[in-house]
Structure 1
Amino acid sequence: MGSRLRVFLTPQQDKTLFNLRTADVPQKVKDRASVIRLSAHGWYVEKIAAHFNWTEQTVREVLHKWKKLGLDGLWSKPGRGRKPKWTEADIKFLEECLEQEPRTYNSVQLAQKLEQERSINLSPDWLRRVLKKRGSFGNELGKATKENKTQYCNKSNRQT
């Protein structure tokens, strides 16, 4: 068992941390605020770790960050994770191509178009998932047949 680690809060700090429970902040921030409040209320590091199902070291890191940085220590540093290769403007460009051009595209063709026109290399599978999630195109019959973009579709519609 390590040395006793406890933080002490002013009434204003306690109120601020308490209000974070209902604020529009990430769950990690809410959990870290609760850890600090529990420590201030006399809970041991071991008990807090068991309550949150965290390691004792994680609880200690949260408490040390609070002592060092205060409220700013609750949030994760920016720059975590992989940065996207594309921007919102690139996806909007593809959506405009899908709407305005008289031909249809599959995901491979869209990926090639993006690489040729914007020098951005994305996989067709990933591109298809992003566009589908945004509702840009999909499997629904209404979307697929709403506008007949290719000559082949126009000819087959006239025959029936």
Structure 2
Amino acid sequence: MGARLRVFLSLEEDRTLFNLRTADVPQKVKDRAEVIRLNAHGWYVEKIAAHVNWTSQTVREVLHKWEKHGLQGLWEQPGRGGKAKWQEEDIVFLEECLKKEPRTYNSHQLAQKLETERAIKLSPDRIRRVLKKRGSIGSEPEKATKENKTPPFESTNNLT
């Protein structure tokens, strides 16, 4: 077993970490701040891990990040996760096509149009989800139904 991992906080640092409990920050940041405060108040890593229901290694990582980066170590680093293959302008382009052109498109056709005109390769499913999230799909249902409806059947036999 190695040396005990312990952080020491100044009064100002402790107050800042305490105030993060009620701040408008992600829950992960609040939890990490609590872990650091508990350690500074004398709690062992294993006891903190049991208290917050984390592994001991996770608690150690939080404490090491605090020692290395300070307050900035509480937040997630930018650049995590997959990068978007499309830009905002690409989706605006598709929305303009849907609004201006008289024809209707399905997601496969939109994917082909985006690939041929803007050299962006997205799956039809991804395009559908992005447009749906932005509220672009289905915002004008009456337009599609008015133009595609067959006229109502009118009886030629008037029995009056």
TM normalised by structure 1 equals 0.86
- Aligned pairs (5 A) from 1:133-148: 133-138=133-138, 143-144=140-141, 146-148=142-144
- Residue 148 of structure 1 and its aligned partner are, at CA, apart by 4.1
Matches within 5 A, 1:33-112: 33-112=33-112
State the Cα deviation string for residues 90-114 of structure 1 (Å, max 9, x = none). Answer: 1111112111211111000111111
Aligned equivalents of 2:81 and 2:59: distance in 1?
23
SS of residue paired to 1:121: coil
| Aligned pairs, number | 152
Q: Which structure 2 residue ranges, 5 or more long, are not aligned? A: 153-160
CA deviation profile, 1:106-127 (whole Å, cap 9, x unmatched): 0001111111111110000111
CA deviation after TM superposition for structure 1 residue 27, in Å: 1.9
Q: CA deviation at 1:19?
A: 1.6
| Structure 1 unpaired stretches of 5+ | none
Percent identity at matched positions?
72
Mapped to 2, the partners of 1:120 and 1:50 lie a distance apart of 48
Q: What amino acid is aligned across from residue 5 of structure 2 in structure 1?
A: L
- In structure 1, the residue matched to 2:158 is none
In the alignment, residue 26 of structure 1 is paired with which amino acid? P
Counterpart residue type for residue 4 of structure 2: R
TM-score by length of 2: 0.86
Taking a change above 3 Å as real, the CA distance of residues 67 and 59 of structure 1, as seen in their structure-2 partners, is same
Show the counterpart of 2:155. Answer: none
Match of 2:125 in 1: 125
Matched, 1:18 2:15: no
Deviations 1:65-86 (A, max 9, x none): 1112111111222111111101
Cα deviation, 1:17-48, whole Å, max 9, x if unaligned, reads: 11222222222211111110111111110011
**Which deviations, in whole Å up to 9, do the C-alpha atoms of 1:141-160 show, x marking residues without a partner?**
x832x224996x27x2xx22
Q: What is the root-mean-square deviation in Å for CA atoms of aligned residues?
A: 2.0
* Bigger mean CA deviation after superposition, 80-89 or 2-11: 2-11
Summarize the Cα distance change of 1:114–1:149 in structure 2 as closer, same or farther, 3 Å threshold: farther
The letter of the residue matching 2:143 is: E
Shift of 1:2: 4.1
8 Å CA contact 1:102, 1:150 repeated in 2: no
